[in-house]
Amino acid sequence: MHSTDIFTKAESIRDVIRYIRLFKSATLVIHIDDSIIDSPIFASHIRDICFVKEAGLRVIIVPAARKRIN
């Protein structure tokens, strides 16, 4: 791996850690649109939300219901 790639990844990790510290114990409300629920990358989004929860943030998921109501 090239040294600039390593430096860029390290900076990204530091940025994430700063945000985790800043928002530790915060509540994050996430609205998930129907198009996301029906998309093939939905599982990836849920996995990312799990990482946010594991980082110490409280997560509230608000699923869309427009398609199901209409």
Chain CA centroid to CA 6, Å: 23
70 occurs within a structural domain: yes
17 occurs within a structural domain: no
Chain CA centroid to CA 11, Å: 18
54 occurs within a structural domain: yes
Per-residue model confidence as pLDDT tens digits over 27-54 = 999 998 888 888 899 999 999 999 889 9
**CB 27, CB 56: distance < 8 Å:** no
The total number of residues shown for the chain amounts to 70
d(C-alpha 1, C-alpha 50), whole Å: 29
Q: Which pTM value belongs to this model?
A: 0.67
CA neighbor of 19 nearest in space, from 55, 64, 51: 55
63 occurs within a structural domain: yes
Res 50: pLDDT: 92
- Number of domain units in the chain: 1
9 occurs within a structural domain: no
Structure tokens at 54: 């594991």
**38 is in which domain, residue-wise?**
24-70
38 occurs within a structural domain: yes
Which of 9-13, 20-24, 35-39, 65-69 has the lowest average pLDDT? 65-69
